[in-house]
Structure 1
Amino acid sequence: MTIQKQLSKTRTNLLHQIIVLVLFLSVSANAQIQRTEPPFWYAGMHNPELQIMFYGKNIAQNDVSVSNNVPIKNIQKTENPNYVFVTIDTKNIPASELVFSFSKNKKVAFTKKYALKQRRENSALRRSFDASDMMYLIMPDRFANGNPKNDSEKSVTEKANRQLPNGRHGGDIDGIINNLDYLEKLGVTALWSTPLCEDNDAVNSYHGYAQSDVYKIDPRYGTNEDYLRLSTELKKRNMKLVKDYVTNHWGAEHWMYKDLPTYDWVHQFPGYSQSNYRMTTQFDSNASAIDTKNCMDGWFVPSMPDLNQSNPLVLNYLIQNAIWWIEYADLDGFRVDTYSYNDKVGIAKWTKAITDEYPYFNIVGEVWMHDQAQMSYWQKDSPISAIQSYNSYLPSVMDFTLHDAFGSVFNEDNASWNDGMIKVYDNFTNDFLYANTNNLLTFAENHDTGRFNQNYKNDFKKYQMAMTLLATVRGIPQLYYGSEIGMAGDKGKGDADIRQDFPGGWQGDQNNAFSKEGRTKQQSNYFDFTSKLFQWRKTNEVVHFGKMTHYLPENNVYIYFRHNDKQAVMVVINNSAEAKTIKTNRFQENIKDSKTAKDILSGKAIDLTSEITLDGKSVLVLELEK
């Protein structure tokens, strides 16, 4: 071999070694950062400070700097060397790509690119759900399976098995999108889905409340891009997307729980202690400190580590995660799980940070209590919590006392001092306790309660009374999936029985209730009535925001009006098993000069000049005519 050939071969080998070394260093650099959260952010936010969490093996041994003259406000390292929290000031920084450099002994060890993206136009001023909406609640695993290929993903533990009541059944985001026309025909204007983020529990993971990655849609539902597509498809139909957000806990399979940034990232006693579930301790002036602590800090269940919102790192992580999802998925609202179990100071800061960023963004909190004053305590600007100088900043709470009345009242044919429609009437007599009654979420059932149609043995007349009440009183009505076709389920048999698969959501289902042709006669009766009622409600501002005037029930007949300066609606609910005749002169202050009204359910004209007769267990929804 000539010297020239030897030199050429040597150069080739050297070049090859350099390429291998560069590739090795590149791979090594990327391997240093295993996670970055938030994975990207947005320019032009109301709060310009952004705290980025970098995670990787022993990365805390490095110094950190950033490109583009972006100011670093703080670098926080914890007792765990695998974490670095870097706070930057994004004020006046345009959408651009930043580069973070991690250096040791003044030499750059590796870098990480980070994107600041452009926000949607008028993102901060986005409108949210309100009393003009009808919210529909689904459990996505049980609604419809649009993509059977993702039922048993390799990256998660539990695989699909529709034969297991508490197993994964395969419902997904594609299944929801495929049936948006059905929801639109029903009169739905806002969709609340139970959590869609990854829940990697080995069993019973379908409900989604034990999340293992809060920046990632569970692959059995689809991808983050699929979730954004759902939001986009809803908006094409003037429908809104409400995300079920969990601030109180994660799942024990959450990647961060397996390598905690700080010991007090979750509540430790040390180790595990269960909540006493006594939410009254949050405001009880006589409560002991230990009872209050055990409510707030105790774990909901052993598989759900309780997050410590009093730790500023945790609180900021939760705030930024929530805002990231609003921006990324173009969300229209939150429903917050177990709101009143959180550290009440921390959760108020979380809520205020979000509503400061989005002034018109609505958030409804699950406050499962059975007293109006206690529920009112958790609503923004509550006259009750003001006594203790506390403000949760939570715009909306769920009306559980009205739900309690829904659970029994329609079986009480014979009125007494405490039974019958007086229960419903009494619920509204306490409306003075709330800061905003229009912003209460009203419901007959949800994914945690008994099924209405089970409780009432699929009595269609009782369903009609309940849905009429739900559609015409103050607040934001919420319907639970399947009720509109008569779906039932016995909570006594376990939660899975009240979370059954929607018929027609899976290939091979013999009954397809998503289509008019596929519905049984009973399903059609339920659907047609529900659709007619909520389609009517959709365009009636007087029912959305009008004043409510109600009259003491007589003979188990409850009558109330929704009215404003332009129009009035009269609702008559006969909860007696017998036909009743009502003299109209008692209601003259609301009927005024109207002589007739149109019943929106039957289309019939009703004479208001003397008396009204209606069958037992029946309703009238009357638009007064001038």
Structure 2
Amino acid sequence: MNTELHPLIQRIEPPFWFSGMHNPELQLLFYGNNIAQCQITIPNSSAITNVKRTENPNFIFVTIDTQKIAANEIDFIFKQKDKTTFIQKYELRTRRKGASLRKSFDSSDTIYLLMPDRFANGNKNNDNDKFTTEKYNRDLPGGRHGGDIEGIIQHLDYIHSLGITTIWSTPLCEDNDAEYSYHGYGQSDVYKIDPRYGTNEDYTRLASEIHQRDMKLVMDYVTNHWGLQHWMVKDLPTADWIHQFENYTETNHKRSTISDPNASEIDRNTCIKGWFVPSMPDLNIVNPLVFNYLVQNAIWWIEYANLDGLRIDTYNYSEPQYISKWTKAITNEYPDFNLVGEITMRNQGLLSYWQKDSPIGKIQNFNSNLPSVMDFALLDAFQILFDEDDGSWDRGVTRVYDIIARDFLFPNANNLLIFAENHDSKRFNQIYNNDIRKYKMAMCMLATLRGIPQLYYGSEIGMSGDQHLGDADIRKDFPGGWEDDENNAFNPETRSECQNAYFDFTSKLFHWRKTNDAVHFGKTTHYIPEHNVYVYFRYNLLKSVMVIINNNPENQEISTLRFKENIGDYKTGKDVLTNEMYNLENAIVIEGKSALILELE
């Protein structure tokens, strides 16, 4: 049930909570005109552990110990100076069985990243909303195009048919910016799904539908900033709720200043406290009220929507000691929960600094507590290497070899998120002029290298887009997601021959990946590339997979003698895509610009 608000209270956040949490303390925000003038009690007065009033009389923060609350409903008694009293009821819900030990995503999964506004319009009735500023305009490349949660639900079977096990959607909470609100990163209400996407109930239905297909849902969460139109930014609880400056100050984006022992204080502070862009105020996570608010908001969504993981946007733009403490608060509640942070750094030492238990971080007595980071070093390699035919000392597939060779920097390289593109990068198929051979090589590597592979919506049908034309061009509408689309790529009968070639290959590859735990959690042995050919093995005690990536435009004959330490007693290898058998005692001939994945037998 949702408790109705008393007329003098405009908001309560969290709107309800859950009993039996690891951390029994709950910080409640009550918002209303001059609400801070009220005295607040509850029947069990000892359960209130703190009442915090700020310089803004419209806010009052009340902390309670939920362990001391026996009922599933709390009566908050508000008494005003004129002795008028009223009662506001507050609900404590029962958690799902086993909620704290929920299974999260890991390297056995393949993640599908989609932008909901650009994926499919399942409900045209919510294209516009009277309370949100930007209106539907599909003719505007950077406008609202009408994609929504219902559109995702209607095409879950399509996503599942790709061999996908996990869906990551860019933010779905309300973003009330006047323009470019479709990406969702300038949120204006973090307890409410944007009405142009649907309702909170629609989001929980999405999670349920995903789980019915034995898939998982990852929420894109933003700790660093909100949008300028956030209701609380318009009426700040405290002046230091966000970082403020005498003159507008933008982050310098130089995140290396955080770990740099030689960095100046002004550069470090500007990096952490500067605003991401003028429309995104920077949250001050050091403020205890802000910190608790962000912890509880994330936990509320995990419990309410039954989430399976979080992707944290701009993770290392926040004060490191506090974002690590925020992460620890989440994993204290959910010990098996995976969170992957957006760390847009290309140097692997700097990337490693941000993964939990990093040996690099330990040098500075720092632990991010963040289980997974996004492997941007590998992304950069993928976006250039397949056009490098010469394969000299540090080019071509050697770029990937050198990256994997530095896995010792990571405490858990197998929990890195690996990808060839995303919503902020150049489109892979655009870079390589829709050369499907290069797409196949990249996907074979994503499917077999250590880490958690992530695909970007539409690439599996050959979608491209030119980032030089603006971000909207790399975030085009999925063909068939709108009733009047001429091409419906969701349906094999209406896909083009080219789209089916991309889709069929991708589907077969990632369905196979689900069956082989050697590429999920196995070890890696790789060999120095020769003639722009990279050979590596993924293996465990029971299985072994041999991968050959020929980035040379010419056919290559590969002698197997060099790989005897991994081939061992195996006699044959079965091509996982064609079922063709290879005799491992003979040389293997592989076509130019192609990949071969062999299950050894």
Q: TM-score, normalised by structure 1?
A: 0.95
Q: In the aligned structure 2, how far is the partner of 1:183 from the partner of 1:420? A: 31
1:81 aligns with 2:35: no
1:94 and 1:116 in contact (8 A); partners too: no
Counterpart in the other structure of 1:568: 544
Assess, with a 3 A threshold, how the Cα gap between structure 1 residues 271 and 78 changes in structure 2: closer, same or farther. farther
Counterpart in the other structure of 1:283: 259
1:440 aligns with 2:416: yes
1:61 aligns with 2:32: no
* Offset, 1:110: 2.2
Partner secondary structure for residue 76 of structure 2: strand
Q: How does 1:195-274 map to 2 (within 5 A)?
A: 195-274=171-250
Q: In the aligned structure 1, how far is the partner of 2:82 from the partner of 2:244? A: 39
Counterpart in the other structure of 1:409: 385
Structure 2: runs of 5+ lacking an equivalent: none
Q: How does 1:287-298 map to 2 (within 5 A)?
A: 287-298=263-274
Q: How does 1:527-606 map to 2 (within 5 A)?
A: 527-606=503-582
Counterpart in the other structure of 2:498: 522
Partner secondary structure for residue 347 of structure 1: helix
Q: In the aligned structure 2, how far is the partner of 1:442 from the partner of 1:559? A: 19
Letter in 2 for 1:111: I
Partner secondary structure for residue 317 of structure 1: helix
1:129 aligns with 2:101: no
2:252 and 2:271 in contact (8 A); partners too: yes
Letter in 1 for 2:138: R
Counterpart in the other structure of 2:425: 449
* Offset, 1:518: 1.2
Letter in 2 for 1:401: A
Counterpart in the other structure of 1:474: 450
Letter in 1 for 2:108: S
Letter in 2 for 1:60: A
Counterpart in the other structure of 1:18: none
TM-superposition CA deviations, 1:464-523 (whole Å, max 9, x none): 000000000000000000000000000000000000000000001111100111110000
Q: In the aligned structure 2, how far is the partner of 1:104 from the partner of 1:323? A: 32
1:300 aligns with 2:272: no
Structure 1: runs of 5+ lacking an equivalent: 1-26
Letter in 1 for 2:117: D
Letter in 2 for 1:254: H
* Offset, 1:153: 1.0
- Worse-matched range after superposition: 270-279 or 335-344: 270-279
Q: How does 1:36-185 map to 2 (within 5 A)?
A: 36-68=12-44, 71-94=47-70, 96-105=72-81, 107-185=83-161
Partner secondary structure for residue 232 of structure 1: helix
Q: How large is the RMSD of aligned CA atoms in angstroms?
A: 1.1
Counterpart in the other structure of 1:325: 301
Counterpart in the other structure of 2:472: 496
Counterpart in the other structure of 1:16: none
TM-superposition CA deviations, 1:120-174 (whole Å, max 9, x none): 0010010100000000000000000000000011111111010000000000000
Counterpart in the other structure of 1:188: 164
Assess, with a 3 A threshold, how the Cα gap between structure 1 residues 159 and 578 changes in structure 2: closer, same or farther. same
Partner secondary structure for residue 103 of structure 2: coil
2:47 and 2:68 in contact (8 A); partners too: no
User: Which of 331, 346, 349 pairs up with 1:370?
Assistant: 346
Counterpart in the other structure of 1:33: 9
Counterpart in the other structure of 2:374: 398
1:95 and 1:118 in contact (8 A); partners too: no
* Offset, 1:104: 2.5
Partner secondary structure for residue 616 of structure 1: coil
* Offset, 1:93: 2.8
2:480 and 2:488 in contact (8 A); partners too: yes
Partner secondary structure for residue 613 of structure 1: strand
User: Which of 397, 417, 435 pairs up with 1:421?
Assistant: 397
Q: In the aligned structure 1, how far is the partner of 2:56 from the partner of 2:80? A: 18
1:130 and 1:476 in contact (8 A); partners too: yes
Q: In the aligned structure 1, how far is the partner of 2:167 from the partner of 2:69? A: 35
* Offset, 1:270: 3.1
* Offset, 1:271: 4.9
Letter in 2 for 1:215: Y
Q: In the aligned structure 1, how far is the partner of 2:28 from the partner of 2:454? A: 37
* Offset, 1:109: 2.6
1:619 aligns with 2:595: yes
Partner secondary structure for residue 166 of structure 1: coil
Counterpart in the other structure of 2:362: 386
Q: In the aligned structure 2, how far is the partner of 1:218 from the partner of 1:114? A: 24
Partner secondary structure for residue 553 of structure 1: strand
1:44 and 1:94 in contact (8 A); partners too: no
Q: In the aligned structure 1, how far is the partner of 2:211 from the partner of 2:218? A: 12
Q: In the aligned structure 2, how far is the partner of 1:286 from the partner of 1:500? A: 43
1:147 and 1:175 in contact (8 A); partners too: yes
Counterpart in the other structure of 2:331: 355
Partner secondary structure for residue 388 of structure 1: coil
- Worse-matched range after superposition: 99-108 or 338-347: 99-108
Percent identical across equivalent pairs? Answer: 63
Q: In the aligned structure 2, how far is the partner of 1:270 from the partner of 1:72? A: 38
Partner secondary structure for residue 89 of structure 2: strand
1:381 and 1:435 in contact (8 A); partners too: yes
Letter in 2 for 1:512: N
TM-superposition CA deviations, 1:406-455 (whole Å, max 9, x none): 01100011111121111010000100000101110000000000000000
Q: In the aligned structure 1, how far is the partner of 2:155 from the partner of 2:574? A: 33
Assess, with a 3 A threshold, how the Cα gap between structure 1 residues 70 and 123 changes in structure 2: closer, same or farther. farther
Q: In the aligned structure 1, how far is the partner of 2:45 from the partner of 2:144? A: 49
Q: In the aligned structure 2, how far is the partner of 1:265 from the partner of 1:526? A: 48
Letter in 2 for 1:507: E
2:37 and 2:81 in contact (8 A); partners too: no
1:141 and 1:172 in contact (8 A); partners too: yes
Partner secondary structure for residue 145 of structure 1: coil
2:47 and 2:69 in contact (8 A); partners too: no
Q: In the aligned structure 2, how far is the partner of 1:30 from the partner of 1:41? A: 18
1:40 and 1:114 in contact (8 A); partners too: yes
Equivalent residues, number: 598
Q: In the aligned structure 2, how far is the partner of 1:366 from the partner of 1:148? A: 33
1:43 and 1:94 in contact (8 A); partners too: no
* Offset, 1:607: 1.1
Letter in 2 for 1:50: L
Partner secondary structure for residue 271 of structure 2: helix
Letter in 2 for 1:165: P
Q: In the aligned structure 1, how far is the partner of 2:46 from the partner of 2:64? A: 7
Q: TM-score, normalised by structure 2?
A: 0.98
